[in-house]
Structure 1
Amino acid sequence: MQPIPPHLTPSRYPKRATYDRDAINAILDEALVCTISFTLDNKPFAIPTGFVRHEDKIYIHGSVGSHFIREIEKGLPVCISVTLIDAIVVAKSAFNHSVNYRSVILFGTPEKIEDVQQKIEAFRWLTEKFVPNSWDYLRPIRENEVRKTTVLAFSLDEASAKVRTGMTGDDEDKEQPIWSGIIPLETRRLAPVTEDVSEGIPLPPHLKL
């Protein structure tokens, strides 16, 4: 096994880190949004955007006119982060409060997808992630829509995950008569809400809870 580079090794609680690709993929597949960070003209930027993982890469898309997309597609190095919050950890002291989380950080440079069919596939992967089983139901994508959109891919070769689970581990204050534990959090899909122009159109099976 190759040594882990320093920029992928957490300075705090390094034992929480994992480089297992299955663990990384599971977090990326559950998260809907990532944050892409980069430096341009000596100014830091952090842009949240939807993404999808397919095999050993993640894909984002944006307008060909987007300043953010036009700059990073030149090969600008980026750091991409994803975080899922599972619980608030309530300790017996404010100092020891924490959160249970699953996160991924990856470093890389973008690969611009030029092939039209591969771009369409990336659109399909992203659409199916956000709204499963919807691609074949929707109006087919148009050629001009493909031309107006840039697709960028990022390798997972330099990626790591970091995970916190469990209770407080607050041994110092364990005798204090103060409640401690966790408050679980969840993100879930609720029932779809129909807009005016779709009144009377049956809800398709893939949108039914």
Structure 2
Amino acid sequence: MPNATHYHYSGRALLRLQAIVFQRPIALPRDKVYPSNSHLSYAYLDILYHVASNTAALRNLCDRSIETMGKSLVYPKYPRSTLNRYKHRGTYELGKIHSIVNECAVLHVSFPAGPDDPFPAILPMIGQMGSFEYPSADINEPLDCYLHGYVSSRIMNLARATNGEGDAQSQRLPVSISAAHVDGFILSLTPNSHSYNYRSAILHGYATVVTDEAEKHWAMKLVTNGVVEDRYDHTRVPPNKVEMTSTTILRVRIVDGSGKIRDGSVSDERYDRENKALTSKVWTGVVPVWQVMGEPIPAPENEVKEVPEHIRGFIDRVNERNKAYAHDAAVVGLPKEEQH
């Protein structure tokens, strides 16, 4: 690692790293926004890295930081998370992966079902990326994934049974989290070259049940606002004791993650493109696909005449964003790896 060189590093992430390495908490005001353009010498980061490298979990956090080299923070690569096919479509950037997860209405979470069941379990769940310790952390920084579920569901019972003190991986439930969006249907000259424009992400981490009341309330607000922006404060809050008791929140400490993104138009082989008999009869192109939120339908018991602005605004913003992304993805140039 070169000396006398500085690299761009998040001040907040640095404080987190130092707190873990030196095993003492650093008191940070919860409403303070820490600068994202702090500079740190390689020599100091090298010291932190070697101090922290005694455990895999701490080394992972350091690896995320060291791999940035002045760019966006990235997840460390492991065989389970490293892309092999269409590597050019892959990303390990925290910001891109977290955005894919947060914009996905349903996350699929898989976990070991238990010693008596040979099949891994998988559940559709609602979740959001966030940091209770550093609530001002943005999408590009290390975040946990908070999952919302019923108190007696199987994943909650398993996580509760494995909850332990400290950060030992053996005391936490290993989970894999998947999120995906379809942005277009690629209609090519041959069936084999049909495809999707898509964004997908996979996270690996260890889940524990949130027991701290303040963190649980914070996570419920995070997840609720992940469904509809600013919805939490427009409802009857805080949740009552029965609601808090029947709901369980899982915090997943992310170990690694990867994303895969395909955009662009058709990618046909040259010999097919030069076949005039074929090209003259087969339409090719992209059908953009995006999720649309419709006109709100009031409940039979609803007494509010007008749809609130926080709902109207959210619908308009999301519909515009989804449509724009799908259209842009359909016309962007193909990467050289897919130009036949």
The question of a shared fold, defined as TM-score above 0.5 by the shorter chain, is answered with yes
Q: Structure 1 93/57 Cα, relative in aligned 2: closer, same or farther at 3 Å?
A: same
Return structure 1 stretches of 4+ with deviation > 4 angstroms. none
Paired residue for 1:82, among 164, 168, 179? 179
Q: Which residue of 2 aligns with 1:12?
A: 85
Query: What SS does the aligned partner of 2:292 have?
Result: coil
Please report the TM-score for the alignment, with normalisation by the length of structure 1. 0.92
Residue among 216, 220, 227 paired with 1:119: 216
Residue 129 of structure 1 pairs with residue 198 of structure 2: no
**How far apart, in 2, do the equivalents of 1:91 and 1:112 lie?**
47
RMSD: 1.8
Distance in structure 1 (CA, Å) of the matches to 2:175 and 2:146: 14
What secondary structure, in the 3-state scheme, does the structure 2 residue paired with 1:6 have?
A: coil
Tell me if 1:37 matches 2:110.
Answer: yes
Shift of 1:72: 3.7
Q: Partner of 2:257 in structure 1? A: 159
Q: Cα deviation per residue 1:152-208 (whole Å; 9 max; x = unaligned)?
A: 011233111111111222124113312211110011222110011115544222122
- State whether residues 32 and 52 of structure 1, in contact with CA within 8 Å, keep that contact through their aligned partners in structure 2: no
Say whether 1:109 aligns with 2:213: no
What residue in structure 2 maps to residue 50 of structure 1? 126
CA contact (8 A) 1:52 1:126 kept: yes
Post-superposition offset of 1:97:
0.5
Query: How far off is 1:51 after superposition?
Result: 0.8
Structure-2 separation of matches of 1:100 and 1:180: 14
Q: 1:21, CA displacement in angstroms?
A: 1.0
User: Higher relative contact order by CA 8 Å / sep ≥ 6: 1 or 2?
Assistant: 1
Q: Which residue of 2 aligns with 1:92?
A: 189
Q: Is the 8 A contact 2:173 2:208 kept in 1?
A: no
Q: Which one of the candidate residues 198, 205, 208 is aligned to 2:309?
A: 205
- The corresponding residue for 1:68 is 155
Name whichever structure is richer in strand by fraction: 1
**Matching residue of 2:31:** none
Contact 1:17/1:160 (8 A) holds in 2: yes
The alignment partner of 1:124 has SS state of helix
TM superposition shift of 1:45: 1.6
Structure 1 residues 171 and 65: alpha-carbon distance in aligned structure 2, compared to 1, 3 A threshold: same
Deviation for aligned residue 1:61: 1.5
Q: What does 1:152-191 align with in structure 2 at a 5 Å threshold?
A: 152-172=250-270, 173-175=272-274, 176-177=278-279, 178-191=282-295
Distance 1:47 1:165, change over 3 A: same
Question: What is aligned with 2:245?
Answer: 147
- In structure 2, the residue matched to 1:59 is 146
Structure 1 unmatched runs, 5+: none
Q: 1:3 to 1:111 in 2, by over 3 A?
A: closer
* 1:28-85: CA deviation from partner (whole Å, max 9, x where unpaired): 2211211011232222221111111114011111121112321244233221110011
Residues of 2 paired with 1:98 and 1:179: CA distance? 15
TM-score normalised to the size of structure 2?
A: 0.58
Deviation larger for 64-73 or 87-96:
64-73
Residue type of the alignment partner of 1:51: G
* 8 Å Cα contact 1:63-1:148 kept in structure 2: yes
Q: What is the identity, as a one-letter code, of the residue corresponding to 2:130?
A: H
Hey, what does 2:328 align to over in structure 1?
none
Tell me how far apart the structure 1 counterparts of residues 173 and 253 of structure 2 sit (CA, whole Å).
14
Give identity over the alignment, percent.
30
Q: 1:153 to 1:31 in 2, by over 3 A?
A: same
Structure 1 residue identity aligned to 2:309:
P
